[in-house]
Amino acid sequence: MEYANHLNEYAPAPSEAQAAEEVARMKTAAVRNENSDVYKLCYSAIDLTTLSCSDSVRSVTAFAEKAVEFYDKFPHIPNVASICIYPSFVETVGVAVDGTPMRITSVAGGFPAAQTFLEVKALEVAMAIENGADEVDIVLNAGRMLTGEYDEAANEVEVIRAEMDEEIVLKVIIESGVLKTPDLIRKASLLSMFAGADFIKTSTGKTDVSATPEAAVVMCHAIKDFYEKTGRKVGFKAAGGVRTPQDAVLYYTIVEEILGKEWCTPELFRIGASSAANNLISAIEGREVKFF
Protein backbone atom coordinates (compact mmCIF):
# COMPACT_ATOMS: atom_id res chain seq x y z
CA MET A 1 0.00 0.00 0.00
CA GLU A 2 1.09 3.58 -0.59
CA TYR A 3 1.49 5.31 2.74
CA ALA A 4 3.88 8.19 2.09
CA ASN A 5 1.25 10.32 0.34
CA HIS A 6 -0.80 10.37 3.54
CA LEU A 7 2.00 12.19 5.35
CA ASN A 8 0.92 15.35 3.51
CA GLU A 9 -2.42 15.20 5.32
CA TYR A 10 -0.67 15.97 8.61
CA ALA A 11 1.03 19.10 9.89
CA PRO A 12 4.84 19.19 9.79
CA ALA A 13 6.96 18.25 12.79
CA PRO A 14 7.95 20.84 15.37
CA SER A 15 11.43 22.28 15.10
CA GLU A 16 14.19 21.11 17.41
CA ALA A 17 13.89 24.39 19.30
CA GLN A 18 10.13 23.96 19.73
CA ALA A 19 10.57 20.39 20.96
CA ALA A 20 13.27 21.49 23.43
CA GLU A 21 11.06 24.31 24.70
CA GLU A 22 8.21 21.88 25.28
CA VAL A 23 10.48 19.45 27.11
CA ALA A 24 11.58 22.25 29.44
CA ARG A 25 7.93 22.89 30.24
CA MET A 26 7.32 19.17 30.82
CA LYS A 27 10.23 18.97 33.27
CA THR A 28 8.66 21.72 35.33
CA ALA A 29 5.25 20.04 35.20
CA ALA A 30 6.72 16.65 36.12
CA VAL A 31 7.54 17.79 39.66
CA ARG A 32 3.86 17.50 40.62
CA ASN A 33 3.89 13.84 39.56
CA GLU A 34 6.79 12.75 41.75
CA ASN A 35 4.56 10.87 44.17
CA SER A 36 3.73 7.30 45.15
CA ASP A 37 0.60 7.01 42.99
CA VAL A 38 2.43 7.96 39.80
CA TYR A 39 5.43 5.79 40.71
CA LYS A 40 3.03 2.84 41.07
CA LEU A 41 1.44 3.56 37.69
CA CYS A 42 4.87 3.79 36.08
CA TYR A 43 5.90 0.50 37.65
CA SER A 44 2.73 -1.17 36.36
CA ALA A 45 3.56 0.15 32.87
CA ILE A 46 6.99 -1.53 32.73
CA ASP A 47 7.83 -4.18 30.17
CA LEU A 48 10.44 -5.85 32.39
CA THR A 49 13.23 -6.56 29.96
CA THR A 50 16.17 -8.90 29.55
CA LEU A 51 17.77 -8.80 26.10
CA SER A 52 21.32 -9.93 26.65
CA CYS A 53 23.59 -12.20 24.64
CA SER A 54 24.12 -14.10 27.90
CA ASP A 55 20.42 -14.90 28.39
CA SER A 56 19.73 -18.60 28.88
CA VAL A 57 16.77 -20.78 29.76
CA ARG A 58 18.04 -20.84 33.34
CA SER A 59 18.56 -17.08 33.66
CA VAL A 60 15.31 -16.16 31.94
CA THR A 61 13.36 -18.65 34.07
CA ALA A 62 14.81 -17.11 37.22
CA PHE A 63 14.06 -13.62 35.91
CA ALA A 64 10.42 -14.49 35.17
CA GLU A 65 9.94 -16.35 38.46
CA LYS A 66 11.20 -13.29 40.33
CA ALA A 67 8.60 -11.14 38.56
CA VAL A 68 5.88 -13.62 39.56
CA GLU A 69 7.13 -13.61 43.17
CA PHE A 70 6.46 -9.86 43.22
CA TYR A 71 2.70 -10.51 43.41
CA ASP A 72 3.11 -11.97 46.91
CA LYS A 73 6.00 -9.82 48.13
CA PHE A 74 4.42 -6.46 47.21
CA PRO A 75 0.63 -7.00 46.93
CA HIS A 76 0.01 -3.26 47.38
CA ILE A 77 1.90 -2.42 44.16
CA PRO A 78 0.44 -3.33 40.73
CA ASN A 79 2.91 -5.65 39.03
CA VAL A 80 4.72 -4.93 35.76
CA ALA A 81 2.74 -5.13 32.51
CA SER A 82 4.86 -7.80 30.84
CA ILE A 83 8.16 -9.59 30.60
CA CYS A 84 10.09 -8.76 27.41
CA ILE A 85 12.52 -11.30 25.99
CA TYR A 86 13.98 -12.69 22.79
CA PRO A 87 11.58 -14.94 20.84
CA SER A 88 13.41 -18.16 21.71
CA PHE A 89 12.47 -17.60 25.38
CA VAL A 90 8.74 -17.00 24.93
CA GLU A 91 7.84 -20.56 25.86
CA THR A 92 10.24 -20.45 28.83
CA VAL A 93 8.53 -17.37 30.23
CA GLY A 94 5.11 -18.85 29.50
CA VAL A 95 5.84 -21.78 31.81
CA ALA A 96 7.10 -19.46 34.58
CA VAL A 97 4.15 -17.04 34.51
CA ASP A 98 1.39 -19.60 33.90
CA GLY A 99 -1.66 -18.87 36.05
CA THR A 100 -0.83 -15.15 36.48
CA PRO A 101 -2.03 -12.06 34.57
CA MET A 102 1.53 -11.42 33.39
CA ARG A 103 1.77 -10.76 29.67
CA ILE A 104 4.62 -11.94 27.46
CA THR A 105 6.34 -9.52 25.09
CA SER A 106 8.71 -10.83 22.44
CA VAL A 107 11.06 -8.73 20.39
CA ALA A 108 11.07 -10.15 16.87
CA GLY A 109 11.33 -9.29 13.20
CA GLY A 110 15.12 -9.18 13.06
CA PHE A 111 15.51 -7.20 16.30
CA PRO A 112 17.45 -5.00 16.90
CA ALA A 113 18.61 -3.92 13.42
CA ALA A 114 15.69 -5.18 11.28
CA GLN A 115 18.26 -5.96 8.59
CA THR A 116 17.12 -9.33 7.35
CA PHE A 117 14.68 -10.74 4.80
CA LEU A 118 11.06 -9.74 5.27
CA GLU A 119 10.07 -13.41 5.06
CA VAL A 120 12.41 -14.14 7.98
CA LYS A 121 10.95 -11.26 9.98
CA ALA A 122 7.39 -12.43 9.40
CA LEU A 123 8.24 -16.04 10.25
CA GLU A 124 10.01 -15.06 13.46
CA VAL A 125 6.99 -13.01 14.52
CA ALA A 126 4.62 -15.87 13.69
CA MET A 127 6.74 -18.34 15.68
CA ALA A 128 6.88 -16.02 18.71
CA ILE A 129 3.09 -15.74 18.68
CA GLU A 130 2.65 -19.49 18.20
CA ASN A 131 4.84 -20.05 21.26
CA GLY A 132 2.66 -17.76 23.36
CA ALA A 133 3.66 -14.12 22.91
CA ASP A 134 0.86 -11.68 23.73
CA GLU A 135 2.77 -8.68 22.40
CA VAL A 136 5.48 -8.27 19.77
CA ASP A 137 8.03 -5.45 19.47
CA ILE A 138 9.52 -5.00 16.00
CA VAL A 139 11.86 -2.39 14.52
CA LEU A 140 10.92 -0.09 11.67
CA ASN A 141 13.64 -0.26 9.03
CA ALA A 142 15.71 2.82 9.88
CA GLY A 143 17.86 2.43 6.78
CA ARG A 144 14.82 2.78 4.55
CA MET A 145 13.64 5.79 6.53
CA LEU A 146 16.99 7.54 6.18
CA THR A 147 16.96 7.07 2.40
CA GLY A 148 13.36 8.19 1.99
CA GLU A 149 11.92 4.75 1.18
CA TYR A 150 8.88 5.44 3.33
CA ASP A 151 6.39 3.14 1.61
CA GLU A 152 8.86 0.25 1.73
CA ALA A 153 9.43 0.75 5.46
CA ALA A 154 5.70 0.96 6.22
CA ASN A 155 4.85 -2.00 4.00
CA GLU A 156 7.15 -4.23 6.04
CA VAL A 157 5.11 -3.34 9.12
CA GLU A 158 1.88 -4.01 7.23
CA VAL A 159 3.06 -7.48 6.18
CA ILE A 160 4.08 -8.35 9.75
CA ARG A 161 0.82 -7.00 11.17
CA ALA A 162 -1.02 -9.33 8.80
CA GLU A 163 0.66 -12.29 10.53
CA MET A 164 -1.14 -11.46 13.79
CA ASP A 165 -4.60 -11.88 15.19
CA GLU A 166 -6.24 -8.66 16.33
CA GLU A 167 -5.69 -9.36 20.03
CA ILE A 168 -1.88 -9.45 19.63
CA VAL A 169 -0.35 -6.08 20.49
CA LEU A 170 2.17 -4.79 17.94
CA LYS A 171 4.72 -2.24 19.11
CA VAL A 172 6.85 -0.64 16.40
CA ILE A 173 10.25 0.73 17.41
CA ILE A 174 11.18 3.75 15.32
CA GLU A 175 14.76 4.02 16.68
CA SER A 176 14.44 7.75 17.25
CA GLY A 177 18.10 8.17 18.19
CA VAL A 178 19.11 7.01 14.70
CA LEU A 179 16.51 9.10 12.86
CA LYS A 180 17.57 12.12 14.96
CA THR A 181 15.44 14.90 13.41
CA PRO A 182 11.90 15.75 14.52
CA ASP A 183 10.79 15.47 10.88
CA LEU A 184 11.96 11.86 10.47
CA ILE A 185 10.76 10.89 13.95
CA ARG A 186 7.30 12.23 13.16
CA LYS A 187 7.21 10.56 9.75
CA ALA A 188 8.30 7.23 11.22
CA SER A 189 5.65 7.52 13.92
CA LEU A 190 2.87 8.25 11.45
CA LEU A 191 3.95 5.58 8.97
CA SER A 192 4.03 2.98 11.73
CA MET A 193 0.53 3.91 12.80
CA PHE A 194 -0.75 3.93 9.22
CA ALA A 195 0.58 0.38 8.85
CA GLY A 196 -1.13 -0.96 11.96
CA ALA A 197 1.03 -0.31 15.03
CA ASP A 198 -0.78 -0.52 18.37
CA PHE A 199 2.14 1.24 20.06
CA ILE A 200 5.05 3.29 18.81
CA LYS A 201 8.26 2.88 20.79
CA THR A 202 11.29 5.13 20.97
CA SER A 203 14.19 2.73 20.69
CA THR A 204 15.74 -0.70 21.05
CA GLY A 205 18.21 0.39 23.71
CA LYS A 206 20.96 -1.01 21.49
CA THR A 207 22.12 2.26 19.89
CA ASP A 208 24.21 5.18 21.13
CA VAL A 209 21.13 7.36 21.64
CA SER A 210 18.00 5.74 23.02
CA ALA A 211 14.86 7.36 24.43
CA THR A 212 14.90 11.14 24.75
CA PRO A 213 12.16 13.44 26.04
CA GLU A 214 12.40 15.46 22.82
CA ALA A 215 11.61 12.39 20.70
CA ALA A 216 8.78 11.49 23.08
CA VAL A 217 7.21 14.92 22.60
CA VAL A 218 7.31 14.56 18.81
CA MET A 219 5.93 11.02 18.94
CA CYS A 220 3.11 11.87 21.34
CA HIS A 221 2.01 14.78 19.15
CA ALA A 222 1.96 12.39 16.19
CA ILE A 223 -0.21 9.98 18.20
CA LYS A 224 -2.57 12.82 19.12
CA ASP A 225 -2.90 14.01 15.52
CA PHE A 226 -3.44 10.46 14.28
CA TYR A 227 -6.17 9.91 16.88
CA GLU A 228 -7.92 13.15 15.95
CA LYS A 229 -8.00 12.11 12.29
CA THR A 230 -8.81 8.42 12.67
CA GLY A 231 -10.35 7.90 16.10
CA ARG A 232 -7.84 5.08 16.80
CA LYS A 233 -5.80 5.23 19.99
CA VAL A 234 -2.17 4.21 19.67
CA GLY A 235 0.04 3.76 22.71
CA PHE A 236 3.48 5.19 23.49
CA LYS A 237 6.46 3.26 24.87
CA ALA A 238 9.71 4.80 26.09
CA ALA A 239 12.66 2.40 26.13
CA GLY A 240 16.41 2.67 26.49
CA GLY A 241 17.97 4.77 29.22
CA VAL A 242 14.90 5.01 31.47
CA ARG A 243 16.52 4.30 34.83
CA THR A 244 15.34 6.61 37.59
CA PRO A 245 11.88 7.38 38.99
CA GLN A 246 12.37 10.89 37.66
CA ASP A 247 13.02 9.54 34.16
CA ALA A 248 9.82 7.48 34.30
CA VAL A 249 7.77 10.35 35.67
CA LEU A 250 8.98 12.71 32.96
CA TYR A 251 7.74 10.33 30.23
CA TYR A 252 4.50 9.85 32.14
CA THR A 253 4.08 13.63 32.29
CA ILE A 254 4.73 14.03 28.55
CA VAL A 255 1.99 11.49 27.85
CA GLU A 256 -0.36 13.09 30.37
CA GLU A 257 0.18 16.63 29.08
CA ILE A 258 -0.07 15.87 25.35
CA LEU A 259 -2.45 12.92 25.20
CA GLY A 260 -4.37 13.20 28.45
CA LYS A 261 -5.03 11.04 31.50
CA GLU A 262 -6.85 8.42 29.43
CA TRP A 263 -3.47 7.45 27.93
CA CYS A 264 -1.90 7.04 31.38
CA THR A 265 -2.63 3.33 31.74
CA PRO A 266 -0.60 0.23 30.86
CA GLU A 267 -2.97 -0.28 27.94
CA LEU A 268 -1.58 2.84 26.23
CA PHE A 269 1.65 3.72 28.08
CA ARG A 270 4.67 1.48 28.58
CA ILE A 271 8.24 1.78 29.78
CA GLY A 272 10.87 -0.67 28.57
CA ALA A 273 13.23 -1.09 31.49
CA SER A 274 15.15 -3.31 33.86
CA SER A 275 17.09 -1.10 36.30
CA ALA A 276 14.14 1.31 36.65
CA ALA A 277 12.11 -1.42 38.36
CA ASN A 278 14.17 -1.51 41.57
CA ASN A 279 14.42 2.27 41.62
CA LEU A 280 10.66 2.72 41.34
CA ILE A 281 10.01 0.12 44.04
CA SER A 282 12.47 1.98 46.27
CA ALA A 283 10.72 5.29 45.62
CA ILE A 284 7.34 3.74 46.46
CA GLU A 285 8.59 2.03 49.61
CA GLY A 286 10.70 4.96 50.80
CA ARG A 287 13.76 2.73 51.27
CA GLU A 288 16.32 1.07 49.06
CA VAL A 289 14.92 -2.14 47.58
CA LYS A 290 16.95 -4.50 45.39
CA PHE A 291 14.27 -6.99 44.41
CA PHE A 292 15.50 -7.78 40.88
Catalytic residue annotation = 137, 201, 237
220 within 8 A of 255, measured Cβ to Cβ: yes
Give the distance between the most distant pair of CA atoms in the chain.
53
Using alpha carbons, list the distances in angstroms from residue 228 to 52, 149, 224.
39, 26, 6
13 within 8 A of 183, measured Cβ to Cβ: yes
